[in-house]
């Protein structure tokens, strides 16, 4: 999949993070995941973070050298010589509850010898790797994270993987869910159980809209198997005739609930939020010295 729970060696996503430049404190309420666009959750007081003054100084020297080479400031200017310490530092990790991507941020304020304070933001992020949507052995957690960012690729998933993904989403929103046998399932792909009922689910991963005949066939499968309620999950949309057929089934006391692609994406987002990782489980601590990149540098005061 395009993400893994381990630090990244690429700074592509680092540059896409939008961090406040106006305060030395974290102002992360409106930071959104650059992959799926959802609001990220912030966690403070990280137990392990290997970077100190020398790491920030190394990044500062690179920026200072460019400024000096460009003639923006003189090499002997005291504003460009650091005092040798960090006067304020704050560490945080942002985790997207939907697609599981994370970014660890170390924000430090370094005083110059005279007249200047510099704020630097170092960022380390989860890595991106390839993912084969047709891989039936892919962990469902990875499949679900992939779908939240690349939902348009849902039709490329193996049908069985898509069925298992749907079952896992129902499981995370409160049902007992079990996928039936892949073949000879009698038109029922998943069986849901709650405290009061058993519900049959049929899943269609195809791009074509669901037609009325498919709803009628599902209704027959429900009645033959003794189910009193069904849910039809489609990776596309439902034609008008299919919607009317589902409404007619309700009048026959065998309700069929329709879940189209947009609604399932909403359900997936809720399920992901219910099982969101924390700093201990997101992979941040898996590597002792994760690579970090300079996200931004600002001067906070100048005389």
Domain membership of residue 289 (yes or no) is no
Instruction: Please give the residue that has the higher pLDDT: either 136 or 233.
Output: 233
Domain shared by 234 and 257, yes or no: yes
Which of 129, 155, 182 is the C-terminal boundary of a domain? Answer: 129
Q: Are residues 83 and 144 in the same domain?
A: no
Last residue of a domain, one of 71, 98, 129: 129
Evaluate whether residue 294 is within a structural domain. no
Q: Are 238 and 245 in contact (CB under 8 A)?
A: no
Kindly state whether residue 236 falls inside one of the protein's structural domains: yes
- In the chain, pLDDT over 70 holds for what percent of residues? 88
Residue 160 sits in the same domain as residue 46: no
Q: Are residues 165 and 230 in the same domain?
A: yes
Q: In the structure, what pLDDT confidence band is assigned to residue 12 with cuts at 50, 70 and 90?
A: low
pLDDT band at 239 (very low <50, low <70, confident <90, very high): very high
Residue 278 lies in a domain: no
- Work out the pLDDT band at 112, boundaries 50, 70, 90: very high
User: 152 and 239 in one domain?
Assistant: yes
Task: Look up the domain containing 147 and give its range.
Answer: 140-272
Q: Let me know if residue 277 belongs to a domain.
A: no
**Cα 40 to Cα 105: distance, rounded to the nearest angstrom:** 13
pLDDT at position 251: 87
Q: What is the mean pLDDT of residues 11-32?
A: 64
Do 225 and 197 fall within a single domain? yes
Are residues 111 and 156 located together in one domain of the fold? no
For residue 286, being part of any structural domain is answered with no
Q: Is the pLDDT of residue 15 over 90?
A: no
What CATH number should be reported for the domain holding residue 160? 3.40.1350.10
* 177: Cβ contacts below 8 Å, ≥ 6 apart: 167, 168, 170, 171, 190, 191, 192, 193, 201
Angle at which helix 140-149 crosses helix 261-274, to 10 degrees, equals 120
For the chain, the average pLDDT equals 85
Whether 13 is covered by a domain: the verdict is yes
Same domain, 173 and 245: yes
Strand residues in the chain grouped as ranges (E): 4-7, 41-44, 88-95, 102-111, 116-127, 176-179, 190-193, 198-204, 230-234, 256-259, 293-302
| pLDDT number for residue 5 | 42
* Residues 190/160, Cβ–Cβ less than 8 Å: no
- Domain contains 165: yes
Give the residue from 88, 109, 129 where a domain finishes: 129
Q: Do 150 and 258 sit in the same domain of this protein?
A: yes
How many domains does the chain divide into? 2
Exposed / middle / buried, residue 93 (Cβ in 10 Å: 0-12, 13-18, 19+): buried
* Per-residue pLDDT at 303: 46
* Residues 252 and 198 grouped into a single domain: yes
Residues 155 and 226 in one domain: yes
- Spell out the alpha helix ranges (H) of 81-229: 140-149, 159-172, 212-225
Same domain for 160 and 261?
A: yes
pLDDT tens string 176-218: 999 997 666 678 999 999 888 899 999 999 999 999 999 999 9
């Amino acid at each position: 999949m395009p993400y893994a729970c381990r630090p990244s060696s690429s700074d592509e996503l680092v540059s896409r993070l939008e961090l406040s430049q106006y305060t030395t404190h974290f102002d992360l309420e409106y930071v959104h995941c650059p992959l799926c666009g959802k609001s990220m959750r912030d966690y403070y007081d990280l137990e392990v973070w290997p970077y100190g003054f020398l790491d920030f100084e190394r990044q500062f020297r690179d920026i200072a050298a460019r400024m000096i080479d460009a003639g923006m400031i003189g090499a002997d200017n005291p504003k460009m010589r650091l005092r040798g310490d960090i006067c304020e530092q704050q560490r945080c990790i942002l985790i997207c509850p939907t697609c599981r991507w994370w970014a660890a941020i170390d924000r430090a304020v370094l005083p110059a010898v005279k007249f200047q304070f510099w704020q630097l933001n170092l960022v380390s992020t989860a890595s991106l790797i390839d993912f084969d949507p047709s891989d039936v052995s892919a962990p469902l957690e990875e499949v679900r994270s992939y779908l939240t960012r690349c939902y348009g690729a849902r039709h490329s998933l193996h049908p069985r993987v898509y069925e298992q993904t749907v079952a896992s989403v129902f499981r995370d929103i409160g049902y007992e869910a079990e996928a039936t046998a892949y073949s000879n399932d009698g038109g029922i792909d998943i069986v849901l159980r709650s405290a009061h009922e058993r519900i049959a689910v049929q899943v269609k991963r195809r791009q074509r809209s669901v037609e009325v005949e498919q709803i009628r066939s599902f209704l027959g499968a429900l009645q033959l198997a003794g189910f009193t309620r069904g849910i039809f999950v489609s990776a596309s949309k439902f034609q008008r005739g299919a919607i009317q057929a589902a409404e007619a089934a309700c009048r026959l006391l065998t309700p069929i609930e329709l879940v189209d692609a947009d609604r399932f994406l909403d359900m997936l987002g809720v399920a992901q939020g219910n099982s969101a990782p924390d700093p201990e489980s997101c992979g941040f601590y898996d590597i002792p010295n994760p690579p970090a990149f300079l996200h931004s540098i600002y001067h906070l005061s100048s005389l």
